[in-house]
Structure 1
Amino acid sequence: MPRIFTAIEIPAHVAQMLTFLRGGLPGARWIDPGNYHITLRFIGDVDAHVAHDVASMLDTVNRAPFELRLEGVGSFGGRKPRAVFANVAPSQALMDLQAEHERLMQRVGLAPEGRKYTPHVTLARLRASSSGQVAEYLSERGSFRSVSFRAERFVLYSSRASVGGGPYLVEEAYPLTAVPARQAI
């Protein structure tokens, strides 16, 4: 059974910028820069039939390319931090694309995602990092800003069952090619 999810890839020049955030955090298992991405919808372990249905449903997405930027860093897990990440700057186009993925996955028969969508790029998974160590790491790197980059496609990734962090394989790529509607003046 493949473990699959949809995501926006991070271009190499932005991934290179993210590598400067590595280090300085005991207990961190850093994600390989080639595996950086912005998850749109985690689908999980599914059989081949459901994976095929997901891939077919994603073919119906018709959206225009859009600009993204990463800014600042954060963590998940509160008092027991489990990951540090780079934030994605607010983007209505990204939120709309993610919401469409959520609707499509429910049409395939998947349960709704239970968590609020927080667009991010995971930098490291944490094992034994204290909340104090994470707070120090975040305060030292909080001013991080990437250059803007254009999301011109999203992908359907698969991964082997593991603790996370890849390696990820692009199963299918879906170009963002729609022409934006003209705005009324």
Structure 2
Amino acid sequence: MRLFLAINFNKNIKQKLKNIQKQLKEKTYKGNFSREENFHLTLVFLGEISENKVFLIKNAMDNINTEAFSIAFNKLGVFKRNNKDIWWVGILENKKLLNMQKELSLNLLNHGFIIESRKYSPHITLAREVILKKDFDNDMLSQKFTIPVSVNEISLMRSERIHGKLTYTEVYKKSLLTTNN
């Protein structure tokens, strides 16, 4: 099964991301736009993993010692791919997120999993294969917004096509530590 670790969002956050996506969509001829229910922040992509190794992933997740924290989405960006760009929403730099992602990756490596070696770039994909209208100006890239998000848990997700639709299903959830303030 195709698996990844992620931070999922509540309906309110997903709706805010959808509103940004809608603004982008109005400025495109076409694109493959992410479905609202699939919005997530990938922590570690694992790829095809046999079902008998899922317990190792759960163990790697359970062994992190990260307290709940907050992140904030604050920018729109694009990965240039010839004429089919990938548009995304990014976050303010966040050391707690980066430390948790690194700890998860190390735990998974210690359990024998192969992890991508490229630098972690936290983002939420809004659309792939985007072709912009000719009159597009870069005003969207300078748009100011802040969407705060509380991160209280991480999820092991399965990616599969169901009736032709890319669908992400939660397989396992790990709650982050809470502080007693």
TM-score, normalising length: structure 2: 0.85
Note if contact 2:4-2:157 (Cα within 8 Å) is conserved in structure 1. Answer: yes
Q: Number of residues paired by the alignment?
A: 175
Match of 1:53 in 2: 56
AA partner of residue 42 (structure 2): T
AA partner of residue 29 (structure 1): N
Give CA deviations for 1:78-135 in whole Å, capped at 9, x if unaligned: 54444110011111110011101110111121223122110001111116x26xx599
Where 1:160 maps in the other structure, the secondary structure is strand
Residue 124 of structure 1 pairs with residue 127 of structure 2: yes
> 1:77-92 counterparts in 2 under 5 A?
77-92=80-95
Give the Cα separation in 2 of the matches to 1:50 and 1:135: 50
Give the Cα separation in 2 of the matches to 1:172 and 1:76: 30
Give CA deviations for 1:46-99 in whole Å, capped at 9, x if unaligned: 111222211222111121110111011111235444411001111111001110
Q: Say which is worse superposed, 21-30 or 66-75, in terms of deviation.
A: 21-30
Greater share of strand: 2
Match of 1:17 in 2: 16
Aligned counterpart for 2:116 among listed residues 102, 113, 116: 113
Residue 36 of structure 1 pairs with residue 35 of structure 2: no
Match of 1:100 in 2: 103
Give the CA RMSD over aligned residues.
2.5
Give the Cα separation in 2 of the matches to 1:135 and 1:155: 40
Match of 1:154 in 2: 154
Give the Cα separation in 2 of the matches to 1:54 and 1:93: 21
Measured after TM superposition, the shift of residue 33 of structure 1 is 1.1
Give the Cα separation in 1 of the matches to 2:157 and 2:134: 29
CA gap of 1:19–1:135, structure 2 versus 1, over 3 A, is: farther
AA partner of residue 153 (structure 1): E
